[in-house]
Amino acid sequence: MKNINKTSDQYKKIVSKKQPPITKARNIINAFLVGGLTCIIGQGLWELYILLNLSKDNAGTLSTLTLIFLASLLTGLGYYDELGQFAGAGSIVPVTGFANAMVAPALEYKQEGLIMGLGANLFSVAGPVLTYGMVSAFVIGVLIEVFGG
């Protein structure tokens, strides 16, 4: 039986030998390409909705809703996780990442019921983001009101 008691340095050496190399350049390029492609699709949708005689505001809203729908659909079909593995931050920064953050817990906890499953866990990923965003907006609003803008 091998000696399983390793020092911290010995453990780090073993891990570094087994760990795949980190390719930061490739990760950055993948994130840029997928994030950029998402933006291009959004812009294309906006242009399409303008051609359908919608106002610019309505076209923007409908483009966003379409991207959210597509991301939710891809999450439900199991493809968005694969996209996230490939693209990293390029898949979570756009509004599509927020849609994924809402749909993924809903799918995961739906079998536990509406209250203890969906109700308790729906915002498990997006909740902290929303909370900090709203609190930050409130604090900045108070600071602007108190000290002038």
Of 53 and 104, more confident: 53
The answer to the question of residue 123 being in a domain is yes
* Mean pLDDT on 106-129: 78
Contact 67, 41 (CB under 8 A): yes
Q: Is residue 138 part of a domain?
A: yes
In 3D, which of 93, 78, 108, 97 has the Cα closest to residue 32? 93
- Total structural domains within the chain: 1
**Mean pLDDT of the chain, nearest integer:** 87
In a domain, 101, yes or no: yes
Compare 126 and 42 and report the one with higher pLDDT: 42
Residue 6 domain-assigned (yes or no): no
Q: Can you give the residue range of the structural domain that contains 127?
A: 23-147
* pLDDT tens-digit map of 71-95: 999 999 999 999 999 998 898 877 8
Q: What is the pLDDT of residue 102?
A: 85
